[in-house]
């Protein structure tokens, strides 16, 4: 091992196993710097790592960098809270002994290690050390609800544990009373059952050059809001990727420190006050640009401050003209305490704020209007089409017959649950394909059949990459905005051998569109890891379900659907014609799509085969016009070649271009080059050999992704002719995106 792994090796004892920071079963929360994949760098309060394990001892290896105050990490071991003092500088190993029967009464323990304080210190978490016989288990899934807070020391929980000083000025302290767990921010998240990113820093103000933080430089939130690392100033700023976490609710809690060193609102109508309002409005605008669809709630706190600040914020919020930006005032706003909020006062704030957020309605978290409308139509006995789009799991790979796959079993639930309705089933699953291909084929394979409800499943075929966040969003937007405005339910699977999945980037897209989803892998994988379920019972290869596996997946989806039926008809019954008309109007209001969170070049992706594009030039390639009998009949309507030097060129208008070709298990296979705009030096190899054993692969090769749409030439040239090749080289299609219509 090299790099930071050597820190773990330094502390490892004989008989211990290393659990590196990047271990797939560790669960993290917070804005974390993963620039070095072997260490998680924590700056913001409420950042944490969670582990479930068996064994008598667990140790954590960290490196601390102190800026000021004494520094502590907080922890919960089997629900019991404690804190660990840290060395000012350098690495150390923290240790805990487990007691009792754990969280389940059977020896399973859980440790949550979290950052109690703000940027008064930076912590590098390197990993855990466990006994060799210990097992690591799955943590409970993180909530779908997500909150983000931008604030100061009150949002960070500074001096919150000094409960003997409620309503009084702060006692002398050196960091020992600060605990983000008891901030109103984390309390609010817990009351709402939500995740939290707490972008809070003691002493910070809105504007650079004001506030108490980092005197005399005074860094403001306008410089910190988009950072991972920001202190000390000698460090280069590290920027945060806002696509990595998409909250439905954002809280902006600034203004408390902004009167230092000058009170901008000494004259509430003066130029200084106007200048502050301009900066506050600009910051809200920047946050809105990063969070285009979130509800933004502007607050100050119970800590004493002048009313003019709240009046200024109110004017700014009204001037924004955005019905998703709110200004909330607490019952004892600005008058409850002269010192920082202690635990009881933070609880007071959290309860009020959580009640206000709940009052905004359930649809701020997840909008099931379209799904409930489908259920009402089904109950009335209408004709409905249910579609499934995904990879091999959706296609039904390893199910003994098509009607035993999860998709058809889910379809049967609709027929049983609503016997008066007439349903049509569409399975548009194609094995070994991802959301990139789906974004280009969804119109032909599914949307032309006018579905009313679409289930989408690509979490094991997409990779955890920015590219797939964009292709997945393009696919989702295309379905939502198609002619029938169908309901969409997203499905998330995992690899059962290691738990990997692209579900986190998919869930970020889901949150942006408030779409419901079902974590299929989140239900099955913990049972496998814990030993409650033998992997071989549900999947022979660690991924594809057998009949029992498909039955379980369908069962989880049907549980979700049953819960939505109850909400639809028990909580919001629509019986009269007036109610039906109201439901139609509400459904219509959901047709306007929110702004995208990615560059969104794939919403209008296209697929070109020999039926809808003619080569600009062709030599040695032949058309394949063999009819395509079904969706999964994938090697059709392309071009084939067998002789070295065969060449085909296309002209397309796009910003993103990819090719699909056949990689075959029947070796040897021909090889070709893909050349964009005549750039021979940048040519990409298209290797027809496929080393897997499950069959030929419809391989998708990206050629370019650019920000601007322009005309390009794409040439494919056969460079290696295999005399004994049993199959020709097969160019299946060209995929483009960002194409101007």
Burial class (CB within 10 angstroms; exposed 0-12, middle 13-18, buried 19+) of 302 = buried
724: left (phi > 0), else alpha (psi -120 to 50), else beta?
alpha
Average pLDDT over residues 104-123: 96
Q: Write out the two tokens for 153.
A: 């020391």
pLDDT surpasses 50 at 573: no
3-state secondary structure of 582: helix
Q: What is the pLDDT of residue 693?
A: 85
Nearest to 736, CA basis, from 704, 699, 695: 704
CA distances from 444 to 396, 441, 701 (A): 20, 6, 21
Spell 236-252 as b/e; 16+ CB within 10 A means b.
eeeebebbebbbbbbbb
pLDDT class for 593, splitting at 50, 70, 90? very high
- The CA dihedral of 190, 192, 198, 200, to the nearest 10 degrees, is -100
Nearest to 203, CA basis, from 217, 214, 187, 188: 214
Q: What is the pLDDT of residue 580?
A: 53
Q: Write out the two tokens for 246.
A: 């998409």
The backbone torsions φ and ψ at residue 271, rounded to the nearest 5 degrees and listed phi first, read -65, -35
Q: Taking each helix axis as running N to C, give the angle between helix 577-588 and helix 369-379, from 0 to 180 degrees, rounded to the nearest 10.
A: 140
pLDDT, tens digit, 9 for 90 and up, residues 678-720: 999 999 999 999 998 889 999 999 999 999 999 999 999 999 7
pLDDT surpasses 70 at 740: no
Q: What CATH homologous superfamily does 369-588 map to?
A: SGNH hydrolase (3.40.50.1110)
- For 191, the enclosing helix (H) or strand (E) is helix 184-192
Look at the domain 5-137 and name its fold.
Jelly Rolls (2.60.120)
Q: What is the pLDDT of residue 578?
A: 44
Q: Strand runs (DSSP E) across 345-486, as ranges? A: 383-390, 422-429, 453-457
Average pLDDT value over all residues in the chain:
94
Q: Name the CATH architecture for the domain at 606-737.
A: Sandwich (2.60)
Q: What is the pLDDT of residue 694?
A: 87
Q: Percentage of residues in the chain with pLDDT exceeding 90?
A: 93
The backbone torsions φ and ψ at residue 418, rounded to the nearest 5 degrees and listed phi first, read -130, 75
Question: Do residues 79 and 73 lie in contact, with contact meaning Cβ atoms separated by under 8 Å?
Answer: no
Question: Do residues 327 and 311 lie in contact, with contact meaning Cβ atoms separated by under 8 Å?
Answer: no
CA distances from 332 to 254, 300, 335 (A): 17, 11, 6
Q: Write out the two tokens for 45.
A: 């309060």
CATH 3.40.50.1110 domain locations along the chain: 145-364, 369-588
User: What value does the CA radius of gyration of the chain take, rounded to a whole number of Å?
Assistant: 28
Q: What is the pLDDT of residue 551?
A: 98
Q: Taking each helix axis as running N to C, give the angle between helix 343-359 and helix 184-192, from 0 to 180 degrees, rounded to the nearest 10.
A: 40
pLDDT surpasses 60 at 579: no
- For 290, the enclosing helix (H) or strand (E) is helix 271-290
Average pLDDT over residues 485-499: 95
Tokens 């062709």 found at: 618
- Say if strands 145-151 and 729-737 run parallel, antiparallel, or are unpaired: unpaired
Q: What is the pLDDT of residue 583?
A: 52
Q: Write out the two tokens for 712.
A: 């390009």
CATH 2.60.120.260 domain locations along the chain: 5-137, 606-737
Residue 447's contacts (CB-CB under 8 Å, 6 or more residues apart) are: 478, 479, 482, 483
Q: Percentage of residues in the chain with pLDDT exceeding 70?
A: 96
pLDDT surpasses 80 at 581: no
Q: Taking each helix axis as running N to C, give the angle between helix 503-512 and helix 466-480, from 0 to 180 degrees, rounded to the nearest 10.
A: 40
pLDDT surpasses 90 at 233: no
Question: Do residues 78 and 109 lie in contact, with contact meaning Cβ atoms separated by under 8 Å?
Answer: yes
pLDDT surpasses 60 at 172: yes
Q: What CATH homologous superfamily does 145-364 map to?
A: SGNH hydrolase (3.40.50.1110)
pLDDT class for 232, splitting at 50, 70, 90? confident
pLDDT, tens digit, 9 for 90 and up, residues 349-371: 999 999 999 999 999 999 999 99
Average pLDDT over residues 83-91: 97
The backbone torsions φ and ψ at residue 60, rounded to the nearest 5 degrees and listed phi first, read -120, 135
CA distances from 651 to 231, 626, 665, 675, 711 (A): 50, 24, 31, 12, 7
pLDDT surpasses 50 at 575: no
pTM to 2 decimal places: 0.92
pLDDT surpasses 50 at 577: no
pLDDT surpasses 60 at 79: yes
CA distances from 76 to 27, 79, 239, 290, 621 (A): 14, 5, 30, 33, 65
Nearest to 185, CA basis, from 269, 261, 253: 253
Average pLDDT over residues 431-443: 98
Tokens 């991802």 found at: 434
pLDDT surpasses 60 at 259: yes
Q: What is the pLDDT of residue 309?
A: 97
Handedness of CA 669, 670, 671, 677 (dihedral sign): negative
Q: Which residue has the higher pLDDT, 234 or 176?
A: 176
Q: How big, in percent rounded to 5, are the helix, strand and coil portions of the chain?
A: 30, 30, 45
pLDDT, tens digit, 9 for 90 and up, residues 116-148: 999 999 999 999 999 999 999 999 999 999 999
Q: What is the pLDDT of residue 574?
A: 44
Average pLDDT over residues 542-570: 96
Q: What is the pLDDT of residue 6?
A: 85
pLDDT surpasses 50 at 106: yes
């Amino acid at each position: 091992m090299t790099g930071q792994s050597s820190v773990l090796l330094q502390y490892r004892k004989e008989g211990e196993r290393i659990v590196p920071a990047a271990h797939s079963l560790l669960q993290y929360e917070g804005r974390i710097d993963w620039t070095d994949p072997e260490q998680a760098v924590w700056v913001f309060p409420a950042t944490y790592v969670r582990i479930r394990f068996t064994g008598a001892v667990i140790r954590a290896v960290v490196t601390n960098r102190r800026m000021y105050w004494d520094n502590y990490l907080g922890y919960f071991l089997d629900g019991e809270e404690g804190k660990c003092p840290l060395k000012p500088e350098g690495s150390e190993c923290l240790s805990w002994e487990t007691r009792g029967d754990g969280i389940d009464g059977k020896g399973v323990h859980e440790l949550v290690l979290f950052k109690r304080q703000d940027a008064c210190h930076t912590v590098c978490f390197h990993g855990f050390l466990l006994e060799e016989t210990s097992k690591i288990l799955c943590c409970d899934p993180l909530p779908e609800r997500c909150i983000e807070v931008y604030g100061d020391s009150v949002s960070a929980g500074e001096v919150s544990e000094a409960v003997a000083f409620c309503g009084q000025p702060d006692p002398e302290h050196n960091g020992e009373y600060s605990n983000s767990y008891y901030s109103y921010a984390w309390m609010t998240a817990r009351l709402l059952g939500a995740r939290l990113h707490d972008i809070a820093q003691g002493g910070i103000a809105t504007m650079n050059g004001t506030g108490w933080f980092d005197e005399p430089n005074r860094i403001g939130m306008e410089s910190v809001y988009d950072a991972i690392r920001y202190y000390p100033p000698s460090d280069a700023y590290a920027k945060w990727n806002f696509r990595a976490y998409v909250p439905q609710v954002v809280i902006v809690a600034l203004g408390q420190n902004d009167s230092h060193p000058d009170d901008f609102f000494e004259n509430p109508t003066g130029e200084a006050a106007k200048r502050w309002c301009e900066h506050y409005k600009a910051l809200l605008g920047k946050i809105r640009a990063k969070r285009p669809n979130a509800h933004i709630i502007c607050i100050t706190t119970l800590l004493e401050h002048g009313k003019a600040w709240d009046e200024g914020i109110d004017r700014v919020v009204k001037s924004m003209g955005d019905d998703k930006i709110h200004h909330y005032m607490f019952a004892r706003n600005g008058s409850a305490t002269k010192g920082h909020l202690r635990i009881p006062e933070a609880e007071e704030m959290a309860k009020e704020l959580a009640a206000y957020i709940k009052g905004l309605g359930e649809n701020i978290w997840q909008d099931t209007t379209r799904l409930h409308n489908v259920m009402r139509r089904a109950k009335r006995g209408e004709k409905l089409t249910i579609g499934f789009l995904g990879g091999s799991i959706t296609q039904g790979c390893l199910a003994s017959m098509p009607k035993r796959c999860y998709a058809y079993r889910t379809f049967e639930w609709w027929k049983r649950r609503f016997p008066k309705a007439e349903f049509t089933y569409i399975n548009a699953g194609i094995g070994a394909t991802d959301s990139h291909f789906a974004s280009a084929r969804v119109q032909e394979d599914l949307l032309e059949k006018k579905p009313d409800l679409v289930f989408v499943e690509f979490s094991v075929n997409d990779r955890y990459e920015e590219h797939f966040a964009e292709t997945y969003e393009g696919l989702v937007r295309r379905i939502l905005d198609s002619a029938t405005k169908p309901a969409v339910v997203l499905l998330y699977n995992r690899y059962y051998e290691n738990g990997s999945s692209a579900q986190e980037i998919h869930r970020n897209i889901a949150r942006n569109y408030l779409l419901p989803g079902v974590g299929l892998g989140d239900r099955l994988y913990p049972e496998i890891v814990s030993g409650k379920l033998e992997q071989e019972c549900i999947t022979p290869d660690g991924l594809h379900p057998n009949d029992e596996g498909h039955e379980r997946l369908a069962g989880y989806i049907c549980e979700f659907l049953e819960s939505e039926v109850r909400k639809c008809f028990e909580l919001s019954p629509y019986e009269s014609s007036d109610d039906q008309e109201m439901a139609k109007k509400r459904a219509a209001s959901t047709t306007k799509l929110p702004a995208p969170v990615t560059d969104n070049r794939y919403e209008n992706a296209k697929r070109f085969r020999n039926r809808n594009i003619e080569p600009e030039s062709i030599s040695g390639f032949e058309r394949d016009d063999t009819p395509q009998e079904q969706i999964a009949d994938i090697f059709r309507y392309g071009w084939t070649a067998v002789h070295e030097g065969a060449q085909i060129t296309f002209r397309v208008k796009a910003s993103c271009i990819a090719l699909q070709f056949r990689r075959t298990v029947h070796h040897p296979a021909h090889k070709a080059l893909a050349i964009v705009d005549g750039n021979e030096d940048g040519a990409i190899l298209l290797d027809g050999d496929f080393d897997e054993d499950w069959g030929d692969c419809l391989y998708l090769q990206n050629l370019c992704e650019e920000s601007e749409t322009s005309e390009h030439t794409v040439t494919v040239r056969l460079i290696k002719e295999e005399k004994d090749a049993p199959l020709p080289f097969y160019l299946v299609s060209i995929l483009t995106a960002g194409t101007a219509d």
